[in-house]
Amino acid sequence: MIKVSHVWNTTYSADTPTPLARQLAAKGPSSAVLVPINQRTVIVGRDRSLTYALEHVLDAWESMAAHGEFTEQTLDKFGLLLKRFERYAQLRGATVLDDVTQDLAEDFITAPGRSRHGHVSNSAAATMRLRRSVVRAAYRTLRELKLSDTDPTRDIHLPRRAVGDVRPLTEDETIDLRHHASFVTRPSRHGAAAALALAGGHSGEIGHIRVRDLDVQNRRVWMHGSTKTDPRWCPLDNWGFDILVSRARFVSARQLGPESAPRARLAVSDRHASDAALQARVCVALRDLLTRIGLADETDVKPSSVTAWAGVETFERTGHIEEAARILGLRSLDRAAAVIGHAWREQTLPECPPEVHSA
């Protein structure tokens, strides 16, 4: 994939002190993101400046990363693009949040890019989706911080990353899913289901995962496979690992004896149920989370969209469709490409069969 930077982007540096939220994250819960940050930001008129608002967003993201809701790679990527968005908006005359319109956001998202070789070209669909994800995630955070009640990306539509009727979650939706799954008073089945799905587990597999399937030492979980998927180990990111370890401790403590703890299920209750019933329980938990993050009305978002993200992330990180197939337990590369929305070949069939010339 060609790396591009915005044509209008210029190199600059600034001394940025460590955000206070990062210091608080080590001392307290994620609610620390709502604490006032510092006094070095400015106020423009009656409205908070764009710089002030986006500094608070970055600080909140730092706190979320400390709790595993952002990976370090995603935080770096989102932080860089948010700074580019701020500079772009300022060059367009936007100094306060109210100056950021849908047109401005759309111009940023669809702006031409420059390759590392210096060539200017239209941005790829994946690049535009990433930019939209960053702006959308920023405004979602601003709403939680009570700094804004709008979303300039709401009506910006881009080419769907889907080959069939179901699309994978986008990166900002995945972050929001983790964030909402973490807001609980005790380790929940919702968080466990999300962690297993984001690791690459399908709804038909997740209900069978037990405490003994969690390999704490190697930070991975065993997926048992199904009639359509192969058994495999799936690595866990920091958030998924913490969620599943906490859930394992919680369900183990509820067992009648220590000998039954390894058999306790992580994402559903231990009541006897058919495979179909277990899958239905997992789907209910995942749908609850999708509803919480505002995706209930999107017809192409389903519980399998959460699992598909694991394939997307693996493919984008490795560049190999076979690695995406492996993490998802799929036996067909074509099937893996369809699940993650990767159209690897164009249909070039002629409109009519070629003429046959007789000898």
Q: How high is the pLDDT of residue 2? A: 37
Domain regions of the chain by residue span? 6-144, 171-340
Q: pLDDT tens, position by position, for the chain (359 residues)? A: 333 333 333 333 333 333 333 333 343 433 333 333 333 333 344 457 999 999 999 999 999 998 888 888 889 999 999 999 999 999 999 999 989 999 999 999 999 877 666 677 788 887 898 999 999 999 999 999 999 999 999 888 887 765 567 899 999 999 999 999 986 678 889 999 999 999 999 999 999 999 999 999 999 999 999 989 999 999 999 999 999 999 999 999 988 888 889 999 999 998 888 999 999 999 999 999 999 999 988 888 999 999 999 999 999 999 999 999 999 999 999 999 999 988 766 544 444 544 544 44
Give this prediction's pTM: 0.71
Q: How high is the pLDDT of residue 19? A: 37
Q: How high is the pLDDT of residue 46? A: 47
Amino acid identity at 346: E
Q: How high is the pLDDT of residue 43? A: 37
Helix, strand or coil for residue 113?
A: strand
Q: Quick one: tokens of 111?
A: 């702006």
Q: How far apart are CA 114 and CA 121, in angstroms?
A: 6
Rounded to an integer, what is the distance from CA 159 to the centroid of its chain? 18
Element (H, E) at 121: strand 120-121
Q: Quick one: tokens of 186?
A: 């005790």
The number of beta carbons lying within 10 Å of the beta carbon of residue 227 is: 6
Q: Cα separations (Å) of 324 from 107, 154, 316, 339?
A: 32, 30, 9, 10
Cβ atoms 331, 230 nearer than 8 A: yes
C-alpha dihedral sign at 64, 67, 71, 76 = positive
CATH number, domain 171-340: 1.10.443.10
Q: Quick one: tokens of 357?
A: 């010339």
Amino acid identity at 185: T
Q: How high is the pLDDT of residue 183? A: 66
What b/e string do you get for 132-145 counting C-beta neighbours within 10 Å, with b at 16 or more?
A: bbbbbbbbbbbeee
Cβ atoms 57, 37 nearer than 8 A: no
Q: How high is the pLDDT of residue 142? A: 94
Dihedral pair phi/psi, residue 352, rounded to 5°: -140, 155
